[in-house]
Amino acid sequence: MTSGNASISAATRRSVLLLSFATFASMTAQRLCDAMLPELSREFSATLAQAAQVVSMFAVVYGLAQLFYGPLGDRLGKYRVVTLATLGCSVGSIATVFATSLDWLVLARMGVALGAAAVIPLSLAWIGDAVAYEMRQETLARVGLGTTLGIAGGQLLGGVFSDSLGWRWAFGFMTLLFGVVGLLLLADLRRQRLAPQVAHSTQPVVRPGFVAQVLLIVTGRWSRVVLGVAFVEGATGFGVMAIWASHLHHALGLSLSVSGAIVALFGLGGMFYMAVARFLIRRLGERGLVRLGVGLLGASAWVIALTPHWAPAIPASLLGGFGFFMFHNTMQANATQMAPTARGTAVSLFASALFMGQSVGVLLAAALVTRLGSAAVIGAGGTVLVLVGLFFAHALKQRDAIMDLA
């Protein structure tokens, strides 16, 4: 089929836009606590490592829940599950507003994670079903705009609310955001039922059991490469990034609002990538995107770690986000093709690996900060991501041979 916007219907583009809103809300909830960790530590008289549980336990539940949502989305409908999960997050967010202890807040965050876990992976899987592969990476980049805005929004809102109205208001905002987006999705779901969209997947629709679906994926050589790289990406990218704002706050004496705003530029860099993704995808190809992307991110991490002044941290965070999403967007496109006959389960396993890696990364980073210092941890995280990115770029060259042997 020909590529271009004409190959995607107006109805599909509208649904992609709404999924972007949902992924924005999901990612905002995920990154919301990053910049407020020092404030939560003071509020509940806890160490930074203890306060970091609001991030790490969110990621643990998020990752484990994929084992449930993947098969559920394949059976009940991916868009339907995303809609219900988004509305559920609105209800769950109310509990975070009224948390009176760190344990309560952690448990409430775990409840929100249980719903948020469905949003991004099933949105990607839905696009895999609705959009042909020729246009898929570009479309994933569009829905990924919500994800990148969520990273920026979560970092920024967490810091701003903590320094102004108080951290509880941030969770109140999330209650409203999830509610509005969920209702918009519900209206679009009803429209879809009246005018079903045509799936572009050329694979026959099958409904094997959960164990059979998982075995289909994890026994494939290429699938294991994608899942393994996703785990390390989560640990060194999303995981270590959780301490960037805290590092700027403690090392440079910046306020939480300013620290959160600087790290929020990471998401803005991702937005810039989304704006030029179509050109870069065609110009550089998957391997070129990965190599350049991890190179930019690695250099940015070391600038954040070592700068004695806040000014260099601004372009570093911006370029770091640009580079990270060059790499991550390529990973997403490959995840949608691991198992086209069980796409929901495949993309959910990808997300599970990514966010289980994030959980490990957050816990490990918080523990190592007390021994090595935050600068060393941030720099080491960037270096590891460069190495795993170069490995994946090499693996992409061998992808067809690997898949033939699967």
Which range among 94-98, 248-252, 348-352, 367-371 has the greatest average pLDDT? 94-98
In angstroms, the CA 12 to CA 250 distance is 46
In angstroms, the CA 44 to CA 27 distance is 25
Q: How far is CA 119 from CA 124, 266, 400, in A?
A: 9, 21, 30
- Kindly tell me the burial class for residue 11, based on how many C-beta atoms sit within 10 Å of its own C-beta (0-12, 13-18, 19 or more): middle
In angstroms, the CA 316 to CA 262 distance is 9
pLDDT of residue 177: 92
One of 1.10.357.10, 3.40.50.970, 1.20.1250.20, 3.40.50.2300 is the CATH number of 8-201+210-405, namely 1.20.1250.20
pLDDT digits (tens, 9 = 90+) for 323-343: 888 888 888 778 777 766 666
Mean pLDDT of the chain: 79
Q: The whole model's pTM is what?
A: 0.66
Q: Would you place residue 387 in the very low, low, confident or very high pLDDT band (cuts 50, 70, 90)? A: very high
The mean pLDDT value for 200-227 works out to 63
In angstroms, the CA 13 to CA 143 distance is 10
Which range among 10-19, 62-71, 158-167 has the greatest average pLDDT? 10-19
Flag whether pLDDT at 24 surpasses 80: yes
Flag whether pLDDT at 203 surpasses 70: no
pLDDT of residue 6: 43
Encode 343-364: b = buried (16+ Cβ within 10 Å), e = exposed.
Answer: bbbbbbbbbbbbbbbbbbbbbb
Which range among 59-73, 83-97, 214-228 has the greatest average pLDDT? 83-97
Q: Would you place residue 83 in the very low, low, confident or very high pLDDT band (cuts 50, 70, 90)? A: very high
pLDDT digits (tens, 9 = 90+) for 124-145: 778 877 776 667 667 777 777 7
Flag whether pLDDT at 402 surpasses 60: no
In angstroms, the CA 70 to CA 89 distance is 18
